[in-house]
Amino acid sequence: MKEVVDQGIKTQEIEVNFGPHHPSTHGVFRMVLTLDGENVRKVNPHVGYLHRGIEKLAEKRTYAQCVPFTDRLDYICSMTNNLAYVQTVEQLLDLEVPTRAEYIRVIVSELQRIINHCVFWATFGNDLGSQTALMYGFRDREMILDVFEELTGSRMTYSYMRIGGVAKDISDEQLKEIERIVDYMLDEALPEYHNLITGNEIFQARTKDIGILKPETAIDYGVTGPNLRASGVEYDVRKDQSYGIYDKFDFDVPTRDKGDTYSRYIVRLEEIEQSCLIIKQALNMIPEGKVQVKRVPKRPPDGSTYSSIESPKGELGFYLVSDGSKRPYRFRVRPPTFIHLMALEEMMIGEKVADAIVILGSIDIVLGEVDR
């Protein structure tokens, strides 16, 4: 939180409504800003415009039927949502997943991370007024969507993960196509991103030293993912509480010390690079075999479990309570971006209105996940 300097001039504060229908609130988020001229004095976020009651809906469905609902939480990265849920159910059932399925899961969820960060880059550029970035980011995302479309049948809501595996095996042509995309991302797309936006002096002036989130504050609020790593805390669920087969891969966790919007931006672009490297390793190591467990028990034993994954936006966790029936007794989502939104006030106060938009863009929210 920046110090508010009293300049000794009497001014009238105005309240401005940002959203729910505003060009750059990334959906239907609303914040009431109290402005003193161009400076932000107070932030009052309002959430809940996209509430669909997914947690309640899931209580009336069997464990397998809940998968399509997790797609609709964070609709930019459905794959990782599926994975987080399915993994929790597997933990509840104590189920072993075939190795090939594990590899496919790693490949698709890292592709999903690339998609998410492309979309982040695109919309962040748009928030700053560079509309060309929007098109370039979505162009590159489109290639991965085509692969996913062939694999799963849908472009955004995949429902690809199944309890005990994945829905469909991946073909060799698709693996080759993925390799091509990864090479394209590393050799052409990322340099272009850096040339167009990162190196731009206007961009750097707009983002550096803006919206600083100190590591202690970030930890207090429970911020995770790239936002936490940009503040200098090296915490990545893939490394620290390794799930799946992530311990087999060799990758770095990019961090920055400053915790400003520029750090959050650059950390995400570096994560694209690391994801590409993970996918390359996975493509070399992927074994043949089954992709799904033959028999999955319908009724998990009594009890509760929590498991989380490193979704592109942060730590996405599911907490399931089973009462021994076919349906979950309690279905609880720990959405990363909802928690990030709570730290908004810390970052925004004392900044300019234009920066408020940049800060909101930099924490990369998706309202489907915030409101659930």
Partner 1 sequence: MGALQNLFVNLALFFRESMVNIGFSQLGIEATMDLVAGIGVLAVIAISALVLIYVERKVAGFIQVRLGPNRVGPKGTCQTVADALKLVGKEDIIPDRVDKVPFMIAPILFFAPAVLAFAIIPFGENMIPIDMNIGIFYFIAVCSLSTIPIIMAGWSSNNKYSLLGAMRSLAQSLSYEIPLVFSILGVVMITGSLQMSDIVAAQSDMWFIVTQPIAFLIYLIAGAAETNRPPFDLPEGESELVAGYMTEYSGMRWALFFLAEYAHLFIVSAMATTLFLGGWHGPILPSYIWFLLKTGFMIFILIWVRWTFPRIRIDQLLSLGWKFLLPLSLLNILITGVVLYII
Partner 2 sequence: MYGQGLLKGLATTLKEYFGGYTTQEYPDEYPNLPDTFHGSFELDVDKCVGCTVCDRNCPNSVIDLKINRGEDKKKEIVRFKVDLTRCQFCGLCTEGCPTNALKFNQEFELATYNKEDLILNLLAEKPTQTKPKKKKEVS
User: Quick check: 250 binds partner 2 (CB under 8 A)?
Assistant: no
In the bound state with partner 2, the residue whose beta carbon lies nearer, of 13 and 326, is 326
Q: Which amino acid does the sequence have at 265?
A: Y
**In sequence order, which residues have a C-beta less than 8 Å from that of residue 155 and are 6 or more positions away?**
145, 148, 149
| Segment contacting partner 1 by CB under 8 A, of 62-70, 84-92, 98-106, 198-206 | 198-206
By CB under 8 A, how many residues form the interface with partner 2?
33
Residue closer to partner 1, measured from CB, 15 or 252: 15
Residue 64 in the binding site for partner 2 (CB under 8 A): yes
Tell me the window of 87-95, 200-208, 221-229, 279-287 that interacts with partner 2 (CB under 8 A). 200-208
Q: Which residues pair with 322 in a beta bridge?
A: 303, 328
Instruction: Let me know: does 365 contact 76? Beta carbons within 8 Å.
Output: no
Distance CA 86, CA 316 (A): 12
Q: Which of 66, 276, 293, 360: binder of partner 2 (CB under 8 A)?
A: 66
Strands (E), 19-124: 30-36, 39-46
Shortest Å distance, C-beta 135 to partner 2: 9
Q: According to CB under 8 A, which one of 46, 239, 334, 352 is a site residue for partner 1?
A: 352
One of 17, 44, 195, 325 touching partner 2 (CB under 8 A): 195
Residue 335 · residue 319 · CB < 8 Å:
no
- CB of residue 285 to partner 1, shortest distance in Å: 35
CA–CA separation, 70 vs 10, rounded Å? 51
Cα torsion 81, 339, 31, 49 to 10°: value is 40
Residue 195 interacts with, from partner 1, partner 2, none (CB under 5-8 Å by kind): partner 2
The amino acid at residue 321 is V
For residue 244, give the amino acid letter: G
Contact with partner 2 (CB under 8 A) among 68, 222, 297, 350:
68
Answer yes or no whether residue 304 interacts with partner 1 by CB under 8 A.
no
Beta strand segments in the chain, E: 14-18, 30-36, 39-46, 161-162, 165-166, 303-311, 314-322, 328-334
| Number of alpha carbons in the 13 Å side-chain half-sphere of residue 110 | 29
Q: Is 164 an interacting residue with respect to partner 1 (CB under 8 A)?
A: no
| Subset of 132-151 contacting partner 1 (CB under 8 A) | 132-136, 139
Among 114, 167, 341, 356, binds partner 1 (CB under 8 A): 356
What are the residues whose beta carbons fall under 8 Å from the beta carbon of 237, sequence distance 6 or more? 224, 243, 308, 309, 310, 315
Q: What are phi and psi of 323, to 5 degrees?
A: -110, 20
| Per CB under 8 A, 28 contacts partner 1 | no
Q: What angle do CA 51, 309, 222 make, to 5 degrees?
A: 65
Site mask for partner 1 (CB under 8 A), range 74-113, x = bound: ----------------------------------------
Among partner 2, partner 1, none, residue 64 binds (CB under 5-8 Å by kind): partner 2
Residue 342 beta carbon to partner 1: minimum distance, rounded to whole angstroms: 22
Residues in contact with partner 1 by the rule CB under 8 A: 14, 16, 22-24, 35, 38, 125-136, 139, 196-197, 200, 202-203, 205-206, 352-357
Residues in contact with partner 2 by the rule CB under 8 A: 61, 64-69, 71, 132, 136, 139, 142, 149-154, 157, 159, 167-168, 192, 195-204
